[in-house]
Structure 1
């Protein structure tokens, strides 16, 4: 428990350092490009499979109920709200935490336990500038793009299911869908940027504060994944309440 709170303090200190944007001149661009490439390639396939399967199942369950209620004109709006506001940010966060966050923690944690971070200090290199900052910026850039890709895949697969199984014209589907996406999409992107900041901070700090042997690396990785998930789930409720809790229903414009 003491270690956990010590790490939270380090997170706050590192965040205060990184959000000083004048530090971008110290960015290691080679490491930054390497992180961009690794993150994008690592999660693209998983992102496609997850978004495709979830959208298929959700469409199957929702569309038949709305057809029974003779409310087919609400199908696309309900699916859009579900994916844009909640499912896409949450599921994308889980994918990134599991695939990228664990990689960050284990990679930096191994460097910490083998003395490589101490070597950076000896060479006069700031570990935050060299290890954390590139990963932080890379995740902030990639996360919204992955979220958009998730949404596109979800909408296309939902339209496919609605057309194939329930004979709903895709043009009708997307015309209703466009009415409710613009503002909500911007809010969703704001959500994932905030998630990206928290996930990158937690996973990198948990790695850089690792001490001990190979067992400590495993424990730090597990702890960072669990902490990141709890961070996302709790913050998601707060952001959803602040961003989407209003008295005007999206159906009022349909």
Structure 2
């Protein structure tokens, strides 16, 4: 209390720091504290003090440097070795869908050339092969098993009315090998692997990691894209074979346990219906689908812009475009391989 009396202030929580202000401002601050009731100098000094404080705060905020804007890697069309067609599309502000389509074709051609020349980063390829193959095997087998059981229910139900139960295995084997297994495997790869490729490369593009690779004299296509495409080309046919075996096994189990169709009848019917041509076409389809998924996903990741929002949009767009392209390619491949009249079911009579 004695100290408060000497400085002319009443005791309170705001009193100690007021004593260090100049006398004109000291009176104003003292009267604006929690215990103040009067302003000896009137409202004018109070407004003046508020203006002083506001100006000081504004000058302090102006002195603080703004946060740096988010920077992205150099777009693929502006790199030193960018093809002329990409430079032209970027110069004339072509639509994004057209630019990405051309970039996908260019990127796919570059990957093919590097594979033929042997410019392959084998350690990255082995790592991506583990992601595409073993890491995707469980969900692929589970999906193929249920697909086989669903079609077994439909085929047995309808064929039993016609007395053609012994033909169920052959029809199911043809459907799985020619269409179902390659398409289902490709859909799993697009949803699980393609989205990961697009998100990872898109994040690297919007965070200047692509430019860091170029500074280290490393081509991003050699280091990032070629291993992913090559891993998908290798793992796609292998997953296709395993999924076909899983689908047939689930079909045999369901037909034997539920519909009382012996397992040897299903297997023998499938053996007589399948040919080496069916196996080859199934492998070719899965190889093409794996290449499509990896190439589109990597191209969409390379052409990402706009920060985190752009990464999300690129990932979603890559999966959707991959699925549409898979079904379109499946139509043309099926028309190419199976456009004539088939003779496989004649062997089941």
- Other-structure match for 1:28: 121
For 2:266, the equivalent position in structure 1 comes to: 173
TM-score of the two chains, using structure 1 as the length reference:
0.96
Structure 1 CA distance for aligned equivalents of residues 317 and 143 of structure 2 = 24
Q: CA RMSD in A?
A: 1.3
**What's the offset of the Cα at 1:124?**
1.0
* Dislocated runs of 4+, deviation >6 Å: none
Deviations 1:30-82 (A, max 9, x none): 11111011222331111121111111121112102111110112101111111
1:84 pairs with one of 177, 187, 190: 177
More helix by share: 1
CA distance in 2 between counterparts of 1:155 and 1:138 reads: 26
Deviates more, 1:223-232 or 1:158-167: 158-167
**In structure 2, C-alpha distance between the alignment counterparts of 1:22 and 1:227, rounded to whole Å:** 27
Distance 2:269 2:112 in 1: 40
Distance 1:248 1:45, change over 3 A: closer
Structure 2 CA distance for aligned equivalents of residues 241 and 92 of structure 1: 20
8 Å contact from structure 2 (residues 171, 273) kept in 1 = no
Higher deviation after alignment, 123-132 or 180-189: 180-189
Aligned residue for 1:200? 294
Given the two structures, how large is their TM-score scaled by the length of structure 2? Answer: 0.70
The superposition leaves residues 191-250 of structure 1 with CA deviations (integer Å, 9 ceiling, x where unpaired) of: 111111111110001001111211100000011011101100111111111111212331
Could you tell me whether the CA contact under 8 Å between 2:189 and 2:290 is conserved in 1? no
- Structure 1 gaps, min length 5: none
Q: Does 1:17 align with 2:105?
A: no
1:151 to 228, 237, 244: 244
Q: Do the aligned partners of 1:42 and 1:99 also contact (CA within 8 Å) in 2?
A: no
The more displaced of 157-166 and 97-106 is: 157-166
* Bigger Cα Rg: 2
- Residue 123 of structure 1 corresponds to 216
Cα distance in 1, alignment partners of residues 250 and 108 from structure 2: 39
Moved more, 114-123 or 42-51: 42-51
Return the structure number with greater relative CO, CA threshold 8 A, min gap 6: 1
Are the equivalent residues in 1 in contact too, given 2:140–2:188 (CA < 8 A)? Answer: yes
Deviation digits for residues 164-193 of structure 1, max 9, x if unmatched?
122222122111101222321110110111
Structure 2's unaligned 5+ residue stretches are 1-93
Mapped partners of 1:80, 1:22: distance in 2: 35
Q: Report what 1:249 is aligned to.
A: 343
What's 2:159 paired with?
66
Distance in 1 (alpha carbons) for counterparts of 2:302 and 2:284: 27
